């Protein structure tokens, strides 16, 4: 069946709630309204108010209550209405949920999913455009995923719900209705921690995820058609744990690596990817690892300014050409 990115997430929630009565959904406006983006539409009618719960505007409360429910055997899926406001729940996520299993010597688990609609390119300005994934990719006990296709959006969410650990699930707002594909009938999952090669290539490798995957694919096609370059594209899909073998294999295969992400350059996951390659695949490199990312500034409301700040297809094409010339 053909499904948009948004519909894929909605389908995953319906299917997992039918499969497991311990799964429930909680967040701001997720019940009566069906979510600010309509991602949870239909859940209240299908499963009732005991399993689809509207909460106050209090992210710390939402995640804190979910941690308590998870400890008692439930499998909560909570929504941060905008990923930017996940910072309000930071203590509950990194100091409570992430440490719970370790604190109890492995005798307790916290099967919790935190959905975080994130990303720019929608003119959301300061508080509705951020990509805060790097805040969490250094926290032991968490898993962090960022699907960029409808298939992965569904499959990774189902895997996250079934996982015994807290998973922060970053879904890109720009993809909700702009990305779609045919999904297979029946149950399927996408494994957490496994990257996927989206495009074959031998001249250089792009390693990306989330909001810049499709831009990277477009840029690779342009570079092939206009410059005769063969560009491989790797979609990380999971940011914690990173698929180290896929990253190193890409570096060893082409010798030139471009890391692309929508998050800001400084402190972004691209720095960790570059360090990993420098430490374990340096002898294979024909040029330094390069990065294309957002500028180190706040997101702008003005469309021209936002475009200037963000990475985009044209910037990726320029970086491909520059790296290939080395």
pLDDT at 162: 98
**Do 2-182 and 196-324 agree at the fold level?**
yes
pLDDT at 98: 98
Rounded CA-CA distance 178/5 in Å is 8
Block mean pLDDT (10 aa), the chain, length 326: 96 98 98 97 98 98 98 97 97 98 95 97 92 97 98 98 98 97 95 98 98 98 98 98 98 98 98 98 98 97 95 98 96
pLDDT at 261: 98
User: CA 21, 240, 105: angle at the middle one, nearest 5?
Assistant: 65
Active-site residue, selected from the candidate residues 128, 172, 214, 261:
128
Rounded CA-CA distance 182/38 in Å is 20
Rounded CA-CA distance 207/209 in Å is 7
pLDDT at 85: 97
Q: Where are the domains of the chain?
A: 2-182, 196-324
3-state secondary structure (DSSP) of residue 25: strand
Q: Rg of the chain's alpha carbons, rounded to an integer?
A: 20
Rounded CA-CA distance 149/143 in Å is 19
Rounded CA-CA distance 219/214 in Å is 9
User: The domain 2-182 is classified under which CATH number: 3.30.70.380, 1.10.760.10, 3.40.50.2300, 3.40.50.970?
Assistant: 3.40.50.970
Question: What CATH fold (topology level) applies to the domain 196-324?
Answer: Rossmann fold (3.40.50)
pLDDT at 158: 98
pLDDT at 1: 87
Annotated catalytic residue 308: no
Burial class (CB in 10 A: 0-12, 13-18, 19+), 168: buried
Sheet of strand 23-27, all strands in order from the earlier edge strand to the far edge: 52-54, 23-27, 75-79, 113-118, 167-172, 143-145, 238-240
Helices (H), the chain: 5-19, 43-47, 59-71, 90-91, 100-103, 150-162, 213-227, 244-254, 269-280, 303-309, 313-324
Q: What is the pTM of this model?
A: 0.97
């Amino acid at each position: 069946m053909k499904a948009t990115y948004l519909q894929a997430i909605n389908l995953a929630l319906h299917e997992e709630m039918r499969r497991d009565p311990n799964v429930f959904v909680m967040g701001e406006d997720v019940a009566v309204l069906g979510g600010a983006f309509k991602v949870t539409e239909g859940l209240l009618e299908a499963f009732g108010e005991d399993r689809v719960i509207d909460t106050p505007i209090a992210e710390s409360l939402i995640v804190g209550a979910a941690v308590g429910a998870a400890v008692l055997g439930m499998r909560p899926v909570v929504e941060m209405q905008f990923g930017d406001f996940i910072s309000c729940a930071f203590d509950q996520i990194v100091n409570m949920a992430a440490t719970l299993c370790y604190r109890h010597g492995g005798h307790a688990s916290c099967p919790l999913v935190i959905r975080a609609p994130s990303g720019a390119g929608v003119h959301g300005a300061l508080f509705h455009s951020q990509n805060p994934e790097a805040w969490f990719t250094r926290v032991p006990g968490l898993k962090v995923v960022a699907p960029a296709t409808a298939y992965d959006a569904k499959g990774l969410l189902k895997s996250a719900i079934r996982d015994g650990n807290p998973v922060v699930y970053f879904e890109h707002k720009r993809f909700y209705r702009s990305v779609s594909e045919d999904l297979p009938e029946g149950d399927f999952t996408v494994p957490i921690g496994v990257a996927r090669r989206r495009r074959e290539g031998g001249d250089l490798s792009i390693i990306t995820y989330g909001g810049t995957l499709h831009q990277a694919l477009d840029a690779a096609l342009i570079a092939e058609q206009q410059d005769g370059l063969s560009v491989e594209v790797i979609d990380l899909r999971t940011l914690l744990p990173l698929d180290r073998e896929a990253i190193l294999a890409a570096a060893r295969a082409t010798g030139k690596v471009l890391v692309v992400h929508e998050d800001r350059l400084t402190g972004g996951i691209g720095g960790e990817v570059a360090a990993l390659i420098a430490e374990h695949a340096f002898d294979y490199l024909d040029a330094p690892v390069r990065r294309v990312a957002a500028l180190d500034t706040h997101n702008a409301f003005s469309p021209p300014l936002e475009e200037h700040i963000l990475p985009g297809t044209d910037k990726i094409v320029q970086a491909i050409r520059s790296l290939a010339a080395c």
